[in-house]
Amino acid sequence: MNEPTRFSLRQKVIVQFGGTGLLGRSLVSSLATAGATLVIASRNRASLDELAAAERAAGRSVAVDEVDIGSEPSLHALRDRVLAQHGRVDGIVFNAVSRPMKSYDDDLAAWKSSMETNATGFFSAVRVFGDAMAAKRSGSIVNIASQMGSIGMNPWLYEGTPMTVAPDYFFHKGGMINLTRYLASHYGTKGVRANVVSPGGIFNPEKPQAPAFLERYGKMTMLGRMADAAEIGGAVVFLLSDASTYITGANLPVDGGYTAK
């Protein structure tokens, strides 16, 4: 296999969980452009139909399927539909996230609600599809964490702005990083790799962050700015591709040097 082909996702069936947000939509574009046969799995199928149609109009293979990550039978049904149509799954990208908690002082019900998707749903999804790939002795799991899974909260970034940051996100993303190491060990001899991509802060052109936050955040990175959502997809494509076949259990920061300072 020549080097350009190794970096391609052509002839690979990829399931992406979560595609409605800024990063999720960008990942759909990155994976589809790299040649993947992509299935976007979401609770709200209708919200992704337009995105998938636009990708298909550009000649790319993108479909949307419905799933409730909080229901293991729903995940089993999704797996069975993908296998029935494509015969295999070559990789998954877990980008689904729920953020019901808005502050440290929120009612515990918000914390419990976030656990359903970000902890229990996450584990259930990667187990259902990890086992399916292990049965074929080939596959790649890429989990989308965050630099917040590796560092503490910096209140200086948010001072004087309406922005807040809740504790559950730090808890879940830190747990995702270490569970991915467990998955790498569990599935390694079965031909399935498991890695994490940890993005830094992503600029949102649809709802720009507070100017004071943007200035302070830029000072915390080596590149002096937040990321563009499109800058995250390359790392994900790489970890799904045959160019990374000896990489597993890794946490790849895509954060402009934030966590290296």
Task: Find, among 98, 120, 259, 217, the residue nearest to 168 by Cα.
Answer: 98
96 and 40 Cβ atoms separated by less than 8 Å:
no
SS (H, E, C) 51-66: HHHHHHHCCCCEEEEE
Q: Is 169 a residue of the active site?
A: yes
**Cα separation of 119 and 97, whole Å?**
10
Select which of 158, 169, 187, 258 is catalytic.
169
* Helix residue spans in 58-201 (DSSP H): 72-86, 108-115, 122-136, 167-187
Please state, as a whole number, how many other Cβ atoms lie within 10 Å of the Cβ of residue 88. 14
Q: What angle do CA 142, 148, 151 make, to 5 degrees?
A: 120
Name the token pair of 144.
């989308």
Element (H, E) at 23: helix 22-33
Name the token pair of 133.
């790939």
**Cα separation of 143 and 27, whole Å?**
12
User: Could you list the active site residues?
Assistant: 169
